[in-house]
Amino acid sequence: MSAISTRVRPASAAAELPGFDQRVRNPVEERLVCDLRSRIRSGRLAPGTRLPPRRELQRLFKVSGVTVDRAVRRLIADGFVRARDRSGTFVAPTPPHLSRYGLVISQSFQSRFVQSLLSEGKRMEEQGPRQFPAYFQVRPGEASGDSARLLADLREERLAGLIFLSNPLYLDSLPCVSGFPDVPKVAIVGSTGNPAITAIHPDGEALTRLALDYFRKAGRRRLAAVTISQVDVAWADRLAELAAAHGIELRPAWALGLDVGAATWHRRAPALLFQGNGRFRPDALLVADDNLVEHVTLGLRDLGLRVPEDVEVVAHANFPLRPPAAVPVRWMGFEADRILQACTETLERQREGKAVPERIEVEPRFE
């Protein structure tokens, strides 16, 4: 008996198939691709199942051999099926709708955080079976480049879920969100504002507490801190509160926000922070963003301060990657593999119809 024994949809119903693109030149081929893909996604054609021979597909779908060949080649290219020499064509063990997770990135550049996720995603791909294609500059109003590629992959059902590294304020306005409500989604943010999109949250306050605990145990009492200027100034106020609770002083002049896009200016920040001597100068430095570490530590070295004798330095990193540092630092941060693991596990639970929380915390650690 054929693996495809149910009634084949008529051509008039083709547009109702998931992923059917009415702009294609050959709607007959598109109907065949969508029908087979729908059967694979639903489990009616399970992983490892052999597709019927070409002639049987011709008969069942009332199409030519050329159309069958083109449709099967498309499914092979998309990863849904595999050809095994003369044994036939089989559903892939891990088709893309079960194993391919899109990283949706709003910016065009690769921050160190993005680099760590891409690097870890590549490592996980080598171990198999998951894949993590990246889409850059996916923003409202952007319809070309990676945005167009993402929409095409969603229409062709080549993704198991989406992982957003985007501003949560405009997530709902993205076509890849509003146009595909059934695709599982998470975002690496503090809150999404959308109960259908789980927030995977690297806990920044836990990171701060970890650093303050370390400074207190090291006998440090005067803290300087730098972060990127894109962070709200309320971060410094909260840091001062937490520092005071640890018996550590953070004066307003000892907290700076630096433009992540002006790296060479970062080198001058320590000269502002470490003026004076003795109790008038900080004895601890928190570099709260890994994009600042290289040039800030160069500036610290320029001052001739001894590390850790004169100043103890704790710096943020996105493990397993670490930025260059010109002085000894104690590294702390989040593990990219734990973040991606939390994302994929949550997406799998969504796909299976299981309950998921609105937010999942990822805890930091020292290296």
- What's residue 12's pLDDT? 44
The confidence band for 64, taking pLDDT boundaries of 50, 70 and 90, is: very high
Q: What is the pLDDT of residue 308?
A: 96
- pLDDT, position 1: 38
**What is the rounded distance in angstroms from the CA atom of residue 289 to the CA atom of residue 227?**
6
Burial of 353 (0-12, 13-18, 19+ CB in 10 A): exposed
- 10 vs 74, more confident: 74
DSSP letters of 297-366? HHHHHHTT--TTTT-EEEEEEEET-----SS--EEEEEEHHHHHHHHHHHHHHHHTT----SEEEE--EE
Determine contact, residues 246/216, Cβ cutoff 8 Å: yes
Please choose, from the candidates 25, 19, 13, 22, the residue with its C-alpha nearest in 3D space to the C-alpha of residue 61.
13
The span from the CA of 176 to the CA of 198, in Å, is: 16
The average pLDDT across 16-43 equals: 75
Tokens of 8: 């084949």
Backbone angles phi, psi at 200, to 5 degrees: -100, 110
Tell me whether the omega of the peptide bond preceding residue 308 falls within 30 degrees of 0, making it cis.
Answer: yes
Label residue 21 by pLDDT band (50, 70, 90). low
Question: Residue 234 burial (CB < 10 Å; 0-12/13-18/19+)?
Answer: exposed
pLDDT of 113 strictly over 60: yes
Residue from 82, 225, 96, 217 nearest 155 by CA = 96
> What would the pLDDT profile of 242-290 be if each residue is shown by its tens digit?
999 999 999 999 999 999 989 899 999 999 999 988 778 999 999 999 9
Q: What is the pTM (predicted TM-score) of this model? A: 0.86
- Nearest in space to 318 (alpha carbons), one of 304, 338, 333: 333
pLDDT-derived band at 84 (thresholds 50, 70, 90) equals confident
The pLDDT, as a whole number, for residue 2 is 45
Whole-angstrom Cα distance, residue 276 to residue 272?
10
SS3 label, residue 217? helix
User: What is the 8-class DSSP label of residue 136?
Assistant: -
pLDDT on residue 163:
97
Closest CA to 188 of 348, 355, 361, 315: 361
What dihedral do alpha carbons 217, 223, 226, 229 form, nearest 10°?
Answer: 120
Model confidence at 25, pLDDT cuts 50, 70, 90, reads: low
> For 157-173, what is each residue's pLDDT tens digit?
999 999 999 776 778 88
CA atoms within 13 A on the CB side of 250: 24
Domains present along the chain, CATH in parentheses: 11-93 (1.10.10.10), 97-202+338-366 (3.40.50.2300), 204-334 (3.40.50.2300)
Assess whether pLDDT exceeds 70 at residue 14.
Answer: no
Instruction: Give me Rg for the CA atoms of the chain.
Output: 26
